[in-house]
Homo-oligomer: A and B are copies of this chain.
Amino acid sequence: MKRRPLLDYALLGLLAQQPMTGYGLRRVFASTPMGVFSDSPGSIYPALGRLERDGLIRPSGQSGARAGSRLLTPTSAGLSALRRWLSAEITREDVARRIDELLLRFAFMDRHLDAALVDRFLGDLAESASAYVNELRAYARSAAGPPSSTGRLALGHGIAAYRATAQWARRAGAEWRKSHGLDVS
C-alpha cells in the first residue's frame, strides 16, 4: 500500500461531504482556505483519474443538464480509505513536517469517526505539539543552536506557532466534549 498524495484525500474528503464535478472542486480550492491546494486542471483531473482508476470514486450523474459533466462520489472503498487515513496515529513527523495534513484530517473527521475518536485525536495533537515545543526549546538552548540572531528569532516563531496549535487543540477538545456530552471520567 503505497503512500497516496495528500491531494487525493482532500478530493475524497470534499466529495464525501458533497458530490461535485471536477470543476466544482477547483472552485473550492480557488475560493476557500483550502486554497493551499492548486486549483489548476493539471493537478485536479489527473488526481481524479487516479482515484477513479483505483476504484475510490465513481461518476454518479450530471451537473444540471450539462452534457459531459460528471458528478463524482466516493465508493465504499473510497470511504474506507478515507477512514483509514483519518484514523492513523499521529507521529512526530506528522507534527514536525505535515501539520497541514493533520488539520485537513481533522476538518473531515466529524462525518466519519466517532465523537470519542475525534476527541482522542485532539488530545494526541495537543500532546504531540507540546512535545515538539519542548524539542524546539531544547534545540534553542543547545550548543548546536541557531547560529544567527534572526535564526534564533525564527526558531521563536516555530515555538510560538506550535504553542498556539497545542492551545487550540486543548480548547477545541473542550468545546467538542461539551457539545457531544463526552467527559473525562
Contacts and interface: CB of A to CB of B under 8 A. Distances in A.
Given A148-B111, A164-B164, A157 B103 contact: yes
Q: What is the count of identical protomers in the complex?
A: 2
| Chain A interface bracket (under 10, 10 to 19, 20 to 34, 35 or more) | 35 or more
A104 B154 CA distance: 8
A185 interface: no
A122 to B, nearest CB: 9
Contact of A175 (B33, B104, B153): B153
- Which applies to chain A's interface (DSSP): helix, strand, loop or mixed? helix
Nearest to A155: B33
Contact of A153 (B35, B36, B106): B106
Interface in A2-51: 17-18, 31-33, 35-36
Contact of A161 (B107, B146, B148, B164): B164
A157 B168 CA distance: 6
Interface in A151-185: 151, 153-158, 160-161, 163-165, 167-168, 172, 175-176, 179
Contact of A144 (B31, B96, B147): B31
Nearest to A180: B149
Interface of A: 17-18, 31-33, 35-36, 96-97, 103-104, 106-111, 118, 136, 139, 144, 146-151, 153-158, 160-161, 163-165, 167-168, 172, 175-176, 179
13 contacts: A17-B147, A32-B139, A32-B144, A103-B154, A106-B150, A107-B151, A108-B148, A108-B151, A109-B150, A153-B175, A160-B164, A160-B167, A160-B168
Given A32-B144, A106-B154, A160-B168, 18 more contacts: A17-B147, A32-B139, A33-B139, A35-B97, A36-B96, A103-B157, A106-B153, A107-B151, A107-B153, A108-B150, A108-B151, A109-B150, A149-B179, A153-B175, A156-B168, A157-B172, A161-B161, A161-B164
